[in-house]
Amino acid sequence: MYTITVAGSVAVGKSTIIQSYLNYAKNSDVKLIESNNRFDFEKTDAVLFVFDLTSESSLYEINQLYRGYTSVRQPKCLHWLIGNKNDKMRDIEIEKCTEFARNKSCVYREISTKNNNDVPNMIESIIQKIKLLNPKQLGPMSDRCISQ
Ligand SMILES: Nc1nc2c(ncn2[C@@H]2O[C@H](COP(=O)(O)OP(=O)(O)O)[C@@H](O)[C@H]2O)c(=O)[nH]1
Ligand SMILES: [Mg+2]
């Protein structure tokens, strides 16, 4: 079971992202949790820093969350910057978003939970990257050693 933590300011769409994925993948080996708590950032496989493309303050509120994250993150933990609500008229220039992501070495992606494919595609590609880094399905290392 992998864990993806969805962080970000109030009303950016965290719950909607999680619900959209649950509707799509009923039996997934990934657990999505909504949290801004750095103790959750400590024990997760990936963090999605979500902001609302129509709210510049929601982008800047990620600064503090990101600081908490960097203070506890595990070396293999992956992180993304997600601009949500791209079905609406944007209030933040794309250059500002990509620059913000670059400064935090985040992959940047824009989505809308109103588009049925965006959340499943995003989460599936994240799961693929997590699995490449953490091949847990292979079982414990000891089971994979051939005895001499
Ligand atoms: N237009 C639009 N509204 C969205 C989108 N995602 C979420 N919302 C709306 O934004 C509001 C806050 O969403 P919610 O998931 O509760 O945000 P949270 O506080 O981050 O968990 C709700 O009214 C959602 O329906 C989106 O992609 N586009
Ligand atoms: Mg919520």
Helix or strand (DSSP H, E) at 60: helix 56-60
Residues with CB under 5 Å of ion ligand 2 are: 14-15
13 Cβ below 6 A of ligand 1: yes
85 Cβ below 6 A of ligand 1: yes
Distance 144 CA to ligand 2 centre (A): 41
Sign of the Cα torsion 114, 115, 117, 123 reads: negative
- Say if CB 92 and CB 61 are below 8 A apart: no
Q: Nearest C-alpha to atom 1 of ligand 1 is from which residue?
A: 85
- What structural domains and CATH numbers belong to the chain? 2-134 (3.40.50.300)
> Residue 3 pLDDT more than 90?
yes
Residue tagged 């609500």 (tokens): 85
Q: Which of 6, 4, 9, 3 is nearest to 64 (CA)?
A: 9
Tell me which DSSP letter residue 146 carries. Answer: P
- Give this prediction's pTM: 0.92
| Count of C-beta atoms within a 10 Å radius of residue 56 | 14
Q: 118-133 and 14-24 are packed helices; what angle lies between their axes, rounded to 10 degrees?
A: 80
pLDDT (tens digit, 9 = 90+) per residue, 16-66? 999 999 999 987 889 999 999 999 999 999 999 999 999 999 999 999 999
